[in-house]
């Protein structure tokens, strides 16, 4: 009896050892490595469209009046506000180095920013208007990217086509005149941009524009009626849609 039990114990031990050895020979499937896709890349040339709203102010000073219809004499002054729609296009280039994004951009917009003021001088029948008809911003940009998000600041050259005009339609003396001039200055601003697709992005942006003063001859051929117009700060709030062509890996 004792011998039988001993034989069974030895057999069980051998079978168990055999199973363990077989299990050791079975390869264990390795976990597949997790491969993360590349981050969003802001590098490349781009162009796009933008639209928004602008507001400004204008300070007028009469410099000379040799007309019959002009009611103001030097050094009369007045001020008024202006606002209106702006829209156009932009073209630029971005280069991304780590989280930093550097770029240059040119933005050209048509503008309906305008304002008017009725004269309070003399017969008080002169109607003055001032407008920004076009805007050009040529700027450098620097930003910090977080995948599809980009926060940036910008600054550089600003230029605008500005128009001043006067009209007097009430007798006995009537007349009108206008003068348009390109005025230069500077701009600073910033915005936040989001990558909708690998090539398409949407941004909201603010720009502050400071433009130089000018003298505008409004006599309309009836003599000198000269006004110095100093634009106050011009503010632009824009929404921009851009398509980037050569996004690099």
**Residues 56-72: pLDDT tens digits?**
999 999 999 999 999 99
If pLDDT is split at 50, 70 and 90, which confidence band does 194 have? Answer: very high
**Residues 14-33: pLDDT tens digits?**
334 444 544 445 454 445 44
If pLDDT is split at 50, 70 and 90, which confidence band does 123 have? Answer: confident
Q: Which residues contact 212 (CB under 8 A, 6 or more apart)?
A: 183, 184, 185
Token look-up 């990217």 returns 145
What is the token pair recorded at 136? 């050009």
Give the DSSP letter of residue 185. E
Any idea which of 71-75, 131-135, 190-194, 245-249 has the lowest mean pLDDT? 245-249
What is the token pair recorded at 202? 């949407």
Q: What is the mean pLDDT of residues 92-102?
A: 97
Instruction: Answer for the pair 111, 88: CB distance below 8 angstroms, yes or no.
Output: no
Instruction: Answer for the pair 235, 228: CB distance below 8 angstroms, yes or no.
Output: no
The radius of gyration computed from the CA coordinates of the chain, to the nearest angstrom, equals 36
Note the pTM of the prediction, 2 decimals: 0.83
Instruction: Please name each of the domains of the chain with its CATH number.
Output: 44-244 (2.40.160)
Q: Which residues contact 47 (CB under 8 A, 6 or more apart)?
A: 89, 90, 91, 92, 242, 243, 245
Q: What is the mean pLDDT of residues 95-119?
A: 97
Res 3: pLDDT: 43
CB atoms within 10 A of CB 173: 14
End-to-end CA distance of the chain: 80
- Residue percentage of the chain with pLDDT more than 70: 83
Res 17: pLDDT: 45
**Residues 148-162: pLDDT tens digits?**
999 999 999 999 999
Instruction: Answer for the pair 156, 137: CB distance below 8 angstroms, yes or no.
Output: yes
Token look-up 């503008």 returns 111
């Amino acid at each position: 009896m004792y011998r039988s039990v001993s034989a069974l114990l030895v057999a069980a031990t051998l079978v168990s050892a055999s199973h363990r050895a077989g299990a050791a020979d079975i390869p264990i499937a390795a976990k597949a490595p997790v491969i993360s896709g590349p981050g969003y890349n802001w590098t490349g040339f781009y162009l796009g469209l933008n639209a928004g709203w602008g507001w400004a102010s204008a300070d007028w000073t009469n410099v000379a009046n040799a007309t019959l219809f002009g009611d103001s004499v030097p050094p009369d002054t007045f001020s008024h506000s202006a606002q209106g729609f702006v829209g156009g296009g932009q073209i630029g280039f971005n280069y991304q180095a780590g989280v930093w994004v550097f770029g240059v951009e040119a933005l050209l917009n048509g503008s309906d920013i305008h304002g008017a003021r009725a004269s309070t001088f003399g017969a008080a029948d002169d109607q003055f208007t001032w407008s920004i008809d076009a805007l050009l911003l040529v700027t450098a940009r620097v930003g910090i990217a977080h995948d599809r998000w980009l926060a940036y600041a910008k600054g550089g050259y600003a230029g605008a086509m500005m128009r001043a005009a006067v009209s007097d339609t009430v007798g006995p003396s009537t007349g009108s005149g206008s003068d348009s001039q390109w005025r230069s200055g500077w701009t600073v601003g910033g915005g936040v941009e989001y990558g909708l697709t690998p090539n398409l992005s949407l941004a909201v942006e603010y720009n502050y524009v400071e433009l130089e003063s000018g003298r505008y001859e409004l006599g309309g051929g009836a003599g000198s009626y000269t006004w110095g117009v100093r634009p106050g700060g011009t503010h632009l709030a824009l929404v921009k849609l851009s398509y980037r062509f050569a996004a690099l890996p």
